[in-house]
Structure 1
Amino acid sequence: MKEVKALIFDIGGVLAIGSNLKSVGKHLNTKSVHESVANKIGVSLDQYFDALDSAYARSIEGKISEEELLNILSTNFHLSKKKIRSLFSFEYKRVFKQNKELYQFAFKKKKEGYKIAILSDQWHLSYLPLVPKKYSSRFDLVVLSCLEGMRKPDPKIYRRTLRRLKISPEESLFIDNQKWNILAAEKIKMKTILFKNNKQLFKQLKLMGI
């Protein structure tokens, strides 16, 4: 069995966790962001998602640029691009908090010789609020779906991450809170841990000798 050389972390529900929930309900927290933005704009959630149209999904998949996204939202919401960016940034920072204990663990492992990376599905208005540069700059690699033109669980985005890290799948450990993303990683022989909370993760890592 090959030794793990790189730890690869998801963002939402792993490095950024819900501030109001005991569990790591990524989708519940994301919904809360959208509800709050809709409320501040003064529209119903249905009207909000109609205005968001397919731009949200296309942004996550990197099918449109950040500028194109902001143009669409500015037109549909009748707000300036600056206001839109500010609204989403505020709400993501309010709803999600940095998992500082896990960040410190990752940075400690980097000092021990492990490569550390981020692999996450994000849209253009979420990744900067969720992963401040003071954290992301300390990782060896950051791979975000909106900048890559593909998203998990597409095996291509996992392979691209491994290629940039210059490691084999067996030398990686992928940590994510969604089962379907874990299963996709396992199919290409990556080692995985389904994240529930820090205590559970650290226990499993210890059993793996990490």
Structure 2
Amino acid sequence: MPENTRTTPVCQHSLLTAVAPQHAVVDSGSSALRHGRSARCCPERAERLTRLVHRDGPSTGTCPSRDEHAPFPQPMNPGDAMPSYEAVIFDFGGVLTTNLDDCARAFARRTGLPDDAYLHAVTVNPVGRQLFAQLERGDITQEAWNAEIAQLLGIDGTDLMRRALTPLKPEAPMVEAARAIRAAGLRTAVLSNSMGMSPFNLYEPWKLEDEHDVVVLSEQVRMRKPDPEIYQLTLRQLGCRGPECIFVDDIEANLRPAQDLGITTIHAQQPDQTLLRLGELLGLPIAVL
């Protein structure tokens, strides 16, 4: 959830940008060049993905399971040939789902608050920002968060997280693209700053473990983006080195630690542009995605 500022002009913050260091991030569009390679998947995978997406719909492929306790893959030597991409790592909220800020504004209106009141409470108010960081790391329960945020807003805190996220829906083109990428033989992962798992589990209906090879939720591992260790954990579970992966996130502050590990990044702002960039990096016809 909240990590740093985005481009959405809500009091210069957003629901996903509440508690992280303020620093600039290199534009993800230059990542492939920065790593000194042509950013492509192998032709066989591209051809397979083209066939998959142009039929009735992408099927869900299966990939080899990975030991989450396996040693961290060794870094590449400067003289090593650059690999093709092996995996794509997706953020959840705001990438595989519809926009969380829009969801927050809708909640405020339903509750009789000013449009940006809820966003302000969790992204600008220092107490609210700290509460979200604690929730993401599993340091406090969702019920405790509900009560504290409700007090800041002066509203009923009963099942607040569920009420706030009711309008959230799948971002269908992104979900389908992830399925097609996996079916083509690449691994996919979800790396998400969670919002508590009880009493409301946002992830449960999505069956993420069935759709992706690796799922890393911050509360379960007691660390959050942009902590570098959570990216290292994700690579370890994928069995990949950084330069073999693409990471898609809608929060700029979450991209820098991934780039530091050699991961190519995409700053997701509009689904069509994100899909276009994925197509370019994977060497796929744009129409495929």
Normalised by the size of structure 2, how large is the TM-score? 0.56
**Structure 2 counterpart of 1:202, one-letter code:** L
Question: What residue number does 2:28 align with?
Answer: none
Give the CA deviation at 1:195.
1.0
What does residue 95 of structure 2 align with? 14
Cα distance change of structure 1 residues 145 and 33 upon mapping to structure 2, 3 Å threshold: farther
Task: Please state how far the C-alpha of 1:98 moved relative to its aligned partner.
Answer: 0.8
Deviations 1:40-59 (A, max 9, x none): 9xxx86xx779979543211
Higher percent of residues as helix? 1
2:56 maps to 1:56: no
Cα gap change, 1:76 to 1:9, in 2 (>3 Å): closer
Q: Which has the higher strand share?
A: 1
Question: Is residue 11–residue 130 contact of structure 1 (8 Å, CA) maintained in 2?
Answer: no
Q: What is the CA-CA distance between 1:122 and the residue it aligns to? A: 1.9
Distance 1:72 1:122 in 2: 13
Give the SS at the match of 2:98: strand
Alpha-carbon distance in 1 for matches of 2:162, 2:229: 29
Aligned-residue Cα RMSD (Å) equals 3.3
The 8 Å contact of residues 249 and 268 in structure 2, kept in 1 or not, is answered as yes
Task: Please give the alpha-carbon distance, in whole angstroms, between the structure 2 residues aligned to 1:116 and 1:72.
Answer: 31
Question: 1:145 maps to which residue?
Answer: 218
Deviation at 1:35, TM superposition (A): 3.4
Question: Aligned in 2, Cα 1:74/1:177: closer, same or farther, shift over 3 Å?
Answer: closer
> Aligned pair 1:112/2:193, yes or no?
no
Count of aligned residue pairs for this structure pair: 189
Tell me if structure 2 keeps the 8 A contact 1:11–1:131: no
Out of 57, 76, 99, which is 2:171 matched to? Answer: 99
Tell me if structure 1 keeps the 8 A contact 2:146–2:161: no
Identical amino acids, percent of aligned pairs: 26
Q: TM-score, normalised by structure 1?
A: 0.74
* Equivalent position amino acid for 2:273 in 1: Q
The answer to whether the 8 A contact 2:208-2:215 is kept is no
Aligned to 1:123: 195
